[in-house]
Amino acid sequence: MLQVTFIRENKELVVEALAKRNINAVEMISDVLTFDDDRKRLQTELDNTLAESNSLSKEIGNLYKSGEAQKANVLKEKTGILKETSKELSDLLNAKVEALNQLLYKIPNVPHSSVPKGNSEEDNEEIYKDGDIPTLHDGALPHWELAKKYDIIDFELGNKITGAGFPVYKGKGARLQRALIAYFLDKNTAAGYTEYQLPLMVNEASALGTGQLPDKEGQMYHVTEDNLYLIPTAEVPGTNIFRDVVLSESELPVGVTGYTPCFRREAGSYGAHVRGLNRLHQFDKVEIIRVEHPSNSYKAFDGMIDHVKDILKELKLPYRILRLCGGDTSFAAALTFDFEVFSTAQDRWLEISSVSNFETFQANRLKLRFKNSEGKNELAHTLNGSSLALPRVLAGILENYQTEDGIVIPEVLQPYTGFKIIN
């Protein structure tokens, strides 16, 4: 959530930056400032009323002590009126603060200056590419056909048990899935991230804190009776570890990693591009999260990019990095780089990671602060990234490592799988 002081001091900048998201924010920003002016006016009136009431209360006490009860009783009637007025002002103030917050919740983060303007993923900028695209043998198959051929993933069984988008991993497919999770976690903990095992459901405050609410409400599975949400990513419970927390400056940076299943409704996703593992309602993901000093967050962002690069180099998968345009950057992010792996059998790029810097946007919602060198509380910066999302990484391995004899396991994963080939 943007801070009102930032909006007030940078009104033109905010309007111009949000235009990169194809949002005309002039009216929204004007409404925020009007509501904030009203809030300030009500706060001043309330403060003055309370101050007058407190002053009269002291005067009444002195009058009673000096035996001037009649004068004291006259003033007492006035304090009664002031108390009613202060209650009315307090109610109006609370309503105005709530209305102001509701306005602020609808305003997305200001994109970083390097974010290009654009409408959709077609306007994203490719900034890096690495790895050799393999030449496959004649008759090479997409991963959903390979899964059936080697009996390692059963999409039809998942459809029977739950519905489309809930695959069942079997035998060596399940073992490969587990190997990827263990490998990713080992890489992350070796890089200094502390591993957490996190809840798979969160409350409304947690979803609001990281920006899933109110922006992505329709994409989450909602347990209505308990008002809980199945997590769309470990980012939500992982970042909410620090909700309402004041860290000392010496505690920064903080790094968190965790494996969780993730749940997304993905309403309206149909067609050949979502076949097999390309888009699921339930999938596994290992996440990395950082809480950083504002002066270090973009250096940390670069470090997270290098970390994901290193994993993909060890897996020997061809990949590229995209800088997302304003129209494709998520609601809460200031800057996002997407990693995509090339699926040779499908002849297309598949997104397998997003690394984002949210600057103070999430921290302001979460009230996540640190005590700076001057002893003042300051909002921290939050960052997160997939390290990695499993389905499309698995799809890339199955398709790019297939041979006429079977699917070769990447060398770095063989100590985790205990086998070298699926055949």
Annotated binding-site ranges for ATP:
264-266, 351-354
CA atoms 288, 294, 300, 302: torsion sign: positive
Amino acid at position 68, single letter = E
Q: How many CB atoms lie within 10 A of CB 213?
A: 19
Two tokens, residue 211 = 């920006």
Helices 171-190 and 297-315, packing angle to 10 deg: 140
Residues of each annotated binding site for L-serine: 233, 264, 287, 384
- Residue of 339, 266, 334 lying closest to 306 (CA atoms): 339
**Prior bond to 237 cis, omega within 30?**
no
Residues of each annotated binding site: 233, 264-266, 287, 351-354, 384
User: How far is Cα 415 from Cα 395, in angstroms, rounded to an integer?
Assistant: 20
CA atoms 413, 416, 421, 423: torsion sign: negative
Backbone φ/ψ region at 335: left (φ over 0), alpha (ψ -120 to 50), beta: beta
* Cβ-contact 334, 210 below 8 angstroms: no
Distance between first and last Cα of the chain: 51
- Residue of 279, 188, 278, 281 lying closest to 238 (CA atoms): 188
